[in-house]
Amino acid sequence: MARPVFIVDGSRTPFLKARSGPGPFTPVDLAVQCGRPLLARQPFAPDSFDQVILGCVNVIADEMNPARVAALRLGMGEDMVAFTVQINCGSGMQSIDTAYRYIREGHADMILAGGTEALSHAPLVWSNSGVRWFAGLATGKGVAAKLAAAFRLRPRYLKPIIGLERGLTDPVTDLNMGQTAEVVGHLFGITRAQSDAYAAESHRRLAHAQGAGYLKGEVETAFSRDGKFFDHDDGVRPDSTAETLAKLKPVFERPWGQVTAGNSSQITDGASWVILASDAAVAKHKLTPKAAIVDSNWAALDPSIMGLGPVMSATSLLQRNGLTIKDVETWELNEAFATQVLGCLAAWNDDKFCREILGLEGAAGEIDRDKLNVDGGAISLGHPVGTSGNRIVLHLVNAMKRLGTRRGVATECIGGGLGGAMLIEAV
């Protein structure tokens, strides 16, 4: 029989907006910064876990298999099995899902599952022509051959390509993620004014949550090697309004597009962990669970409309558990783009879409905005790709506890045409 799986604790770093050049922390640095205080407050030793699973998309060359590097730096022991997972924006949720299934099936009792990403450390890369020129220079036999190769150098060979830009472009459709949001917005008639209003509200909600202390115990202060400290998500702009955001120009589809830098998620560095435990581990270590994972689900769709991934994954998840949208009291839907989030809400409330695509008898219904991303989301705090799926589960659990709600869903769109969703219940 499937065993119950509990989330007993978790923490994350502040999400730090990428500005000029690499930020103060690598992916593993970030994982360690929030992992140390999390493990230090537990009533068991760090080596008590069965394994460590960490989501990360842009793994840097100095940190191959960052899960293992982080586990060793966290003092979890040389015997700790640790591996890294990658499913683009869903990587941090995939780590939880994998841990959940291991524990549910009896293969483990306690797992540390997380996500980390330092997008500011994404590399600049050479073009293929530049690589071929360098290869010719390096393999030339003798001085004459090397000189001949050197003379074939063209300035364009040395022009770098922004690796992150290519990484956020779908290799099948050749659309970047912002363009896919434009497609979703067009399909459901989302206006620029609606997107800007949603983005401004995201900033307002995060600023309120910070001021009210709602993130205390979730966000851990990070300390860089030069002695600086970072104690809050620094991309929030409390003074944002729909009117000020309306002045920004479209980024991806000029001049008529809806998606701007102001109503998109921010390029950010950050990490997050959650501790998952079986009922046996809860009893053994006298833990107090915060919530239970009921089920999780992944779905796939056309990459050009990847933003509708939450609709596909969460709808199937709810159907499998005999639930409807109205049965969910708290939602975390990752804010890749305001236009994309609004497109998802419109799709669920569209009779034709729900009949023809989701196989429902009619519209799934309307999600109350007061139940959705109650403390803001990626538009205001950022979207470190490998981390966000973990953060939305962690914050969902904490928000449900604060609000006294029983049932919640964390869901996200995933580049490449995927969606992930997780059903959580209070205990």
Beta bridge partners of 274: 10, 113
Nearest CA to 315 out of 341, 344, 352 is that of 344
Start-end of H helices in 221-260: 242-245
Q: Report d(CA 103, CA 282) in Å as an integer.
A: 12
Nearest CA to 426 out of 388, 381, 392, 396 is that of 396
Contact 386, 58 (CB under 8 A): yes
Q: Report d(CA 250, CA 120) in Å as an integer.
A: 23
Nearest CA to 395 out of 223, 233, 179, 284 is that of 233
Q: Report d(CA 427, CA 417) in Å as an integer.
A: 33
The question of whether 354 is a catalytic residue gets the answer no
The catalytic residue among 121, 203, 383, 395 is 383
The question of whether 413 is a catalytic residue gets the answer yes
Radius of gyration of the chain (CA): 22
Q: Report d(CA 41, CA 7) in Å as an integer.
A: 15
The question of whether 395 is a catalytic residue gets the answer no
Q: Report d(CA 229, CA 219) in Å as an integer.
A: 13
Long-range CB contact pairs, 145-148, < 8 A, 24+: none
The DSSP call for residue 309 is: H
Give the largest CA-CA distance in the chain.
Answer: 76
Q: Report d(CA 81, CA 194) in Å as an integer.
A: 47
Q: Report the amino acid identity of residue 97.
A: D
Contact 295, 317 (CB under 8 A): yes
CA atoms within a 13 Å half-sphere pointing along the CA-CB vector of 186: 11
The catalytic residue among 56, 344, 354, 413 is 413
The catalytic residue among 34, 89, 344, 354 is 89
Contact 285, 48 (CB under 8 A): yes
Q: Report the amino acid identity of residue 60.
A: I
Residue 303: phi and psi, rounded to 5, are: -60, -25
Contact 420, 93 (CB under 8 A): yes
Cis peptide before 310 (omega within 30 of 0): no
Q: Which amino acids are annotated catalytic?
A: 89, 383, 413
